[in-house]
Amino acid sequence: MTKHYLYILFGLFWGLNACNSSPDESAKRGKALAQVKDLTLYERDLLGLVPMNASKADSAEIVNRYINNWIRKQLLLAKARTEVKIDEAEIERKLLDYRYDLIAFAFEKAYIQKNLDTKVSEAEVKKYYTDNPANFELKQNIVKANWVKIPANLAEKDSLKYYLQTKNPKLKEFCVKYAEQYALNDTTWIDLETLIKNTPFRQIANKTDFLQQNTFAETNDGKSLYYLAIREFKISNQTSPLEFVRNRVVNMIINQRKVQLAKDLEKKIFEEAKNNKDFAIFK
């Protein structure tokens, strides 16, 4: 049974228990809003339902929607009881477990937020990366590369080819002055598909073979020339370079700390209760 379904059941049983009340209790709950057989929904049952800043129209819509949903749930529950044999004790146990899970989760979350150390040293990053290579297998080809798009009739295209192939510092100045589009990524890793998505290079059939056979390529679309200069590459199924996955490594380390904090909290509470004899097991 999913937690979503448990939540729905919890709403059904809450409606049953909250609204099947004695006359004295009913008086305390204010005006009756709806009734399904021997169950009644009262004004007080809706306390906290409407946000404080809601308009009159929004408030009315929220209340009406809740009443309609409540009626449907009670009718569904009543029908279920006549059509299906329901083990209500088992459902109550599951609802109680779910309630405990929600409370425990909220407590653990607050504890972790208070005690979590989010500082990760470079040594920790390198060790985790080295110890867990299978976690960082590439799913795509990545490159350190530059591409530039220029008008097909640009007289200075030979200069551009020279700048691209020699890592000339004048490349950026040239691109700013003449290029229609460009992306200079020869110092950072980037997904190859992302880099070339707006160029004819995206039509290359086997990009792995292309990377292994080329460090420089050019093509055109009739109106413009496209140049691609590849400095480094890694193909899919190889291990990602640390620079490419550094943020993911840091997040994994922090997530490990969260799990450990939760385990330590549970152990600490148990040991304290054991030492204080706060619980007993009867045989």
pLDDT at position 25 is: 57
State the Cα angle at 54 between 49 and 59, rounded to 5°: 60
Q: How far apart are CA 225 and CA 74, in angstroms?
A: 69
pLDDT at position 244 is: 95
Q: Are 186 and 145 in contact (CB under 8 A)?
A: yes
Helix (H, G, I), strand (E, B) or coil at 190: strand
CA 75 to chain centre: 36
- DSSP class of residue 17? H
pLDDT at position 167 is: 84
pLDDT at position 6 is: 39
Spell out the per-residue pLDDT of the chain, length 283, in tens.
Answer: 444 443 443 444 444 444 455 555 555 678 899 999 889 999 999 988 999 899 999 999 999 999 999 999 999 988 888 888 878 899 899 999 999 999 999 999 999 999 999 999 999 999 999 999 999 999 999 999 999 999 999 999 999 999 999 989 999 999 999 999 999 999 999 999 999 998 999 999 999 999 999 999 999 998 999 999 999 999 999 999 999 999 999 999 999 999 999 999 999 999 999 999 998 888 8
Q: Are 63 and 69 in contact (CB under 8 A)?
A: no
pLDDT at position 4 is: 43
pTM of the complete model: 0.68
Q: How far apart are CA 233 and CA 68, in angstroms?
A: 60
Q: How far apart are CA 36 and CA 106, in angstroms?
A: 35
pLDDT at position 27 is: 57
